[in-house]
Amino acid sequence: MLEFAWDAGVFTASDAMSATSLTRSTTIDAIDTLVEARVLRELPNARDAGEYRAGRPARRFELPADLGLVAGLDAGDSHLSLTVADLAGRAILHRRVEIDPAHSIPQRQEAVLHLLESAVAETDVPRDALLALCVGVAAPVNRDGHSPPHPEGFWERTNAGLVDLLADRARVVEVKNDAQLAATAEGTTGGAVDCRDYVALLAGERLGAGVVIDGHLLHGMHGGVGEMFAFDYVRGVDSAFGLGTIIEQRARAMIAAGEAAPDGALAALRPGEIDARHVLALAADGDPDASSIARVAGESLARIVGVLGSMFDPERVIVCGAIADGVEPVLEAARAALGPHLHLPAPSLVRSRLGADIVTQGAVLRALDSARHVALPRLAEERLRGAAARV
C-alpha cells in the first residue's frame, strides 16, 4: 500500500484496490492501519471537497509530502553541497560551502556535521523527520558505506568515516561514490532517461565514471567500477586528472612559455582568472590559443572515451559536473579524434544539462528511493508498535 501511495497523490480505496489487486476489505484494512500509524492522511471526502455527484461519497487519502524529509550531500574534496527535500522531491533548502582540501579527517567531519545540523535546523522540523540521507564522495565505496585504503590516504580523507559519523542523523544513511550518483541523476532526470547503456563521466578536477550497462548501475566488490587510476597507464592521458585540470595546466604552461599570443585574450588573463571556465569561454568565442587548448583536452578525452567504449560498449558518454556548461569545444575536438581509438561503433558524446550540483541531485534521488522502500515501512511499523504498547 505504501508503494502505491508514494506515486498516487490523492486516492480512494477503489483506486488502491485496482492498482494493488487486493480485495476491498484487505485494502481498507491496510489504509486504516496506515492512517492509524499517521503515515497516510485522510482528507475530506468527495462531498466535502465539492466533487460529490451521487451515491455515497468516497473517502480520500494521500501520503503527505511533509511526512518527512530527505537530504543529499556532495562531500567533495574542496566543497560540501547539501540539498534537503520533501518526499515529493521538491528542494526546500540548498547550501554549498567551500572547504580546504588539506583538512584532516576530524576537520572534514566537523564541517560535514556543522553543515548538516545548521541546514536541518533551518527547516524548522524535528530532527527525526529526516528519513534518509545519502552522501556522495570521490572514492570507491563498498555496500556498507566504507572506502578501501588509498596509498596516499585520499579515499579515507574524502570518505571520512561518514556512514558511522552520520548513522544517527536519519533513519537510513548511505554513502555512495559520486560518479555513480551522477549516473543515477542522468538516468532519472538527465541525458540518459530511457537509455540502458551509458557512462556518466565526472570530468572536472579528477575523472570518475558511473557506469550503467543493460539498465544496471555497476558497482563491484569495493565500489570501484569507474575508478580511473588505470588512465595513469594510457598513453596520451597519463593520469586521472579531469578536463578542468588539463585545461588549466595547459593554459598556464602556454602563458609561462610565451606560447600564447602576447596580444591575445589568453595571455591577457590574470593568474587568478586562469581556470577552465574562462579558457573554454574564450575557445567558444574562437580565440586561437584557447581553441588549441580545447583540442588538446579533446584528444585526451577521445582516448578516455575510447577505453570506456571498448570496456563497456555504452550507447552514450555524458560529460558531467561544473565543467559541462562550457565543454562543447572539447567535445567537438573529441568527436573528431575518436575514430582511431575504437573498433566498436563510437558512443555518442554529449554534455550534461544538470549543472554543477549533479552529485547532490543524485544523492537526493537515492535518498528518496531509500525513504520509499526502507524508511517509511520502518516508520509505520515503529508507530504501530508504539500504539499497540500504549493500549
For the stretch 301-360, pLDDT in tens is 999 999 999 999 999 999 999 999 999 999 999 999 999 999 999 999 999 999 999 999
pLDDT at 49: 55
Tens-digit pLDDT profile for residues 83-97? 999 999 999 999 999
Per-residue model confidence as pLDDT tens digits over 191-219: 999 999 999 999 988 999 999 999 999 99
Give the residue among 366, 375, 372 at the shortest CA–CA distance from 137.
Answer: 366
Q: What is the H or E stretch that residue 62 is in?
A: strand 60-62
CATH class of 191-351: alpha beta
Residues 6+ apart with CB under 8 A from 186: 192, 198, 200, 210, 318, 320, 352, 354, 358
Query: Which CATH code is given to the segment(s) 67-185+357-380?
Result: 3.30.420.40
Continuous segment of H or E residues that includes residue 146:
none
CATH number of 2-63: 1.10.10
Three-state SS at 285: coil
Are domains 2-63 and 191-351 of this chain identical in fold? no
Every domain of the chain and the residues it spans: 2-63, 67-185+357-380, 191-351
| pLDDT band at residue 284 using 50, 70 and 90 as cut-offs | very high
Mean pLDDT of the chain: 92
Supply the angle between the helices 178-189 and 358-370 in degrees, to the nearest 10.
80
Tens-place pLDDT, residues 95-113: 999 999 999 999 999 999 9
Q: How many CA atoms lie within 13 A of 73 on its CB side?
A: 31
Residue-wise pLDDT tens digits, 153-189: 899 999 999 999 999 999 999 999 999 999 999 999 9
Q: CB neighbours (10 Å) of residue 271?
A: 7
> Closest by alpha carbon to 243, among 269, 267, 275?
275
Predicted confidence at residue 52, as pLDDT, reads 52
> Residues near 194 by Cβ (< 8 Å), separated by ≥ 6?
none
pLDDT at 270: 86
Residue 12 pLDDT > 70? yes
CA dihedral 370, 375, 376, 381 (to 10 degrees): 150
Could you give the count of Cα atoms lying within 13 Å of 287 in the half-sphere of its Cβ? 22
Give Cα separations from 188 to 9, 171, 315, 367 (angstroms): 20, 24, 16, 13
Q: Which of 304, 183, 302, 295 is nearest to 240 (CA)?
A: 304
Decide if 155 contacts 197 (C-beta within 8 A): no
Does residue 246 register a pLDDT over 60?
yes
pLDDT, residue 128, reads 79
